Structure 1
C-alpha cells in the first residue's frame, strides 16, 4: 500500500502528543522528518517518537523532495507564511486550527495551494469522531423532533498568563484557541450556515486578547443558538441540541480521545426516557487517513476549502461583533 510521507513543522505539544502518534497509527502515512529551529529539540522529539530524520529549519524540511506533506502546528499568526511556503514547494498541507486569523489570510493560502495543485486542510479533528455522525442521524430520524435550540461550549482555566495562547501578536485568544470548535460544532451538526452573528467578550486589559467570549449565531429560520469559550472558566467541552420532543447532549464533544477506548457518550432524553448511546473512534487517525487518501487516491476531503471559508467567515464576524458591539450580517 502506498503511504504518504509526512514532515512536521515544529515540535509543538499537539503534534508530539496527538497528531504524530495518530499518523503513525494510520494505515497510509508515515512521519519521516521533524523540524525545529532548535536542533537539539528536534533530535529529542525524533528520538522520543521514532522519527528517522531531523532538520534545524523549516525551510530545510520543505526543501526535501522525499517529503510529500507537512503538518503545521505553529502559532496561528505564522500559519499563512508556512502554508504558502510549503505549497510553493509542492507539499500538501494539513494546518492546525484556526487555519488563519482573517478571511484575507485564508484566501491567500487557498490561492497558493490551488496554484500549486496541493491538498490543503484545516485540522478540525473532532468532526471525524463517529459520535457526531450518530447525532446527525438521530436528528434526521426525528428522535428529538424539530430542532429549536443548540448551544456549544469549550473552556479551560489557563492560569499561566505568559502562555502563547494569550499572545496577541501570535493570534492568541480563547475564541481562536477553543471557541472555534464551538462555532464549528453548531454549523456542523445543524448542517446550515448562519445569516448573522452577535458576540460579546472580555478582553484582558493588558494582553489585549479575549479570555472569555460568548454569542449567538442566527440562522434565519427560528433556530436559536449560543456559543462560548473561555480561559477563565473550568474545563467544559460539550454541546446540546434541543428539539420539540427531546434533547441530545454530548459531554466530550471535542476530546473524546482522552476517554477510555476513545468513547464518546451521546445522552438522549425524550418523553420516553433517557438513553446513553456510545460511539468509539480514533479521531486524529481518521483525520490523517482522510487527508492521505485525498492525496494518494484522489478521494474527497471530509473538510474542504469551501467549508474552511465558511468557518473563517463566521470566526471573523464573531471577532468583529465582539469589538464593535454590532450584529454582523454574513
Structure 2
C-alpha cells in the first residue's frame, strides 16, 4: 500500500468543479489539518480559478494536467458519472489514491476493474457515500437491534427533489444523468445497511422523460430471503423528502434528514408504538468531514477496504438488476 506517513499532509487534487465539491466536500477538505488542496482542474480555467480563490491550490485547465502532477498524492473525483471510470482509472494508473463520488461507476464490470487496479497498485479507492459516515445511522441500528420496535418487519426510504432547472445534467441520460443512479442509489444503499446485502428485486417502476428518456422518478420493492420488504422512492419531480422508516412487530421508527443533514442538525429519532410515542435527540455530526477523515485514515494506514469494495459491487449489481427489471413509463 502506498500510504502517507504522519509527517506531512495528504496532497489532494480535484478533477472538476461540481456543485457538491464546492458546497460541501471542499469546505470539509480545507478544514482538515491533514489535507492540502494542491490544485483544482476544470475544462474552463476560469471556473477552476473561482474554486482555487475559495479553497486554495493552483487552477488548471484540463484534467490531464492535474493527473500528471508529481506533487499530488490523491485525487477527488466529483465528475459526472459517465466520466468516473475514465478519470479514476487514469488517476490510479498514475499512482494516485482516489476518492470518487457515488456511484463509483454505472456497472459491476467497470467498478470491479477499478477495484482490482487499485489493489494491484496498492492504492486506496473509496466510493463517497458520505451519509454512511453520520453517527445517526449506527445509533438507529443500535436501537433497532436492542428491540426498540420489536422484530423488524419492513423498511421504507425516500429521497426526492423538486424538478431541476432545464438543461440540468440529470436530464441527460447519455452523460450519466437521470434520477436513479444519482438519487436512487441512496435509498438502496441505506436498505442494504439495515437489511443486509442479500436483497432480491420484487419490482420497480421508473417514470422517464418522454423527450429525453432520462429517469425522472421511481419506486422500487426489494425483499430479503426472510420476506422483509424495502419500499424505496426516489425522484426529481416531487416535494423534498429525505427520510426512512423501520417497521417492527411492536412499533415503528422514523428519521428525517437521513442523507443530507447540515453539520449543525441534531437528528430526532421518533419511536411510535400503539400506546405511546418517544423522541430521542441525537448529537449533531459532520458526515462530510467524517468521510474525508476516513479517506485520509485509509491512505495513512493502508486500511484494507475489501469490505467496502464488496458492498460497492453488491450495490451496483443490485442497481443494474433494478434497471433491467423496472417497468419504464414515458411521461
Which of 162, 165, 187 is the matching residue for 2:192? 187
| Pairwise CA distance, 1:303 | 6.6
Which is worse superposed, 273-282 or 149-158?
Answer: 273-282
| Pairwise CA distance, 1:27 | 3.8
Secondary structure in structure 2 of the residue aligned to 1:262: coil
Secondary structure in structure 1 of the residue aligned to 2:262: helix
Aligned residue in 1 for 2:152: 147
Q: CA 1:133/1:107 → structure 2, altered by over 3 Å: closer, same or farther?
A: same
Aligned residue in 1 for 2:68: 63
Contact persistence 2:152–2:247 (CA under 8 A): yes
Which of 15, 34, 46 is the matching residue for 2:52? 46
Aligned residue in 2 for 1:249: 254
| Pairwise CA distance, 1:3 | 2.3
Provide the rounded CA distance (Å) in 2 between the counterparts of 1:235 and 1:229. Answer: 10
Provide the rounded CA distance (Å) in 1 between the counterparts of 2:210 and 2:53. Answer: 42
Q: CA 1:44/1:80 → structure 2, altered by over 3 Å: closer, same or farther?
A: same
| Pairwise CA distance, 1:299 | 3.2
Q: CA 1:303/1:31 → structure 2, altered by over 3 Å: closer, same or farther?
A: farther
Q: How does 1:1-330 map to 2 (within 5 A)?
A: 1=6, 2-49=8-55, 51-257=56-262, 261-270=264-273, 271-301=275-305, 304-323=308-327
Provide the rounded CA distance (Å) in 2 between the counterparts of 1:204 and 1:190. Answer: 32
Contact persistence 1:197–1:314 (CA under 8 A): no
Contact persistence 1:197–1:317 (CA under 8 A): no
Q: CA 1:300/1:23 → structure 2, altered by over 3 Å: closer, same or farther?
A: farther
| Pairwise CA distance, 1:197 | 4.4
TM-score by length of 1: 0.93
Contact persistence 1:197–1:321 (CA under 8 A): no
Contact persistence 1:265–1:279 (CA under 8 A): no
Contact persistence 1:168–1:208 (CA under 8 A): yes
Provide the rounded CA distance (Å) in 2 between the counterparts of 1:265 and 1:199. Answer: 30
TM-score by length of 2: 0.93
Q: What CA RMSD, in Å, does the superposition of the two structures yield over aligned residues?
A: 1.7
Structure 2: segments with no counterpart, 5+ residues: 1-5
Which is worse superposed, 247-256 or 295-304?
Answer: 295-304
Contact persistence 1:147–1:241 (CA under 8 A): yes
Instruction: Count residues with an aligned counterpart.
Output: 322
| Pairwise CA distance, 1:193 | 2.4
Contact persistence 1:264–1:280 (CA under 8 A): yes
Cα deviation 1:147-172 (Å, max 9, x = unaligned): 00100100101242310011111111
Provide the rounded CA distance (Å) in 2 between the counterparts of 1:81 and 1:229. Answer: 27
| Pairwise CA distance, 1:257 | 1.8
Aligned residue in 2 for 1:328: none
